[in-house]
Amino acid sequence: MKSAGNSQTPTTPSSDGNFSTEQKQKTVLFFSRLQLIYGNRFSIQWSDEKTLRLARREWAKQIDELSWPQIEKALERAKGKLMAGDGDFYWPDVGRILGLAKDASGAAQRVFPRALPEGEATKQARKSTGRKGMAAVWSVLGGGHAG
């Protein structure tokens, strides 16, 4: 790390040693939006300009790796999670929020190929198991449906 000019604050330089204009714009926009979304919690977390400047410098490279639409997607998803009461997003967590920019490739987003139709023996086995389970429930509850 090296200092920019006569500043005592260390910087994380880009490949040419300085932050590009676009990298600065993306980073400032990202943190400005965080401030709007999180309000007072943002101000508590980054209570002064020096701390905020350090956070911007720390995360500038990761923010710059995202496109403008990805940054917007991450911020909108974070806002949605905050509104839904997701405790992981109660405080502005830059790493967690940037992670929302990536398209999840989990099962909920994948289209699975159709499975082969279930065989008759499997259907009958499931029905039998279900009947036995319900009979046990009814006998515990003292209902007349046991058997």
And the tokens for 55? 């956070």
The pLDDT value recorded for residue 6 is: 41
Beta-bridge partner residues of 113 = none
Q: Is the dihedral of CA 130, 135, 138, 140 positive or negative?
A: negative
Task: Give the pTM.
Answer: 0.59
Contacts of 38 (CB under 8 A, 6+ apart): 45, 82, 91, 92
Give the Cα-Cα-Cα angle 55, 58, 59 (nearest 5 degrees).
Answer: 90
The pLDDT value recorded for residue 118 is: 76
The pLDDT value recorded for residue 108 is: 53
The pLDDT value recorded for residue 102 is: 82
The pLDDT value recorded for residue 103 is: 66
**Single-letter amino acid, residue 112:** F
More confident residue, 85 or 9: 85
The pLDDT value recorded for residue 120 is: 87
Distance CA 29, CA 16 (A): 22
Encode pLDDT of 107-147 as tens digits: 455 566 777 777 888 888 889 998 998 888 888 887 765 45
Encode pLDDT of 33-67 as tens digits: 999 999 999 999 999 999 999 999 999 999 999 99
Contacts of 46 (CB under 8 A, 6+ apart): 52, 55
Distance CA 119, CA 98 (A): 46
The pLDDT value recorded for residue 3 is: 40
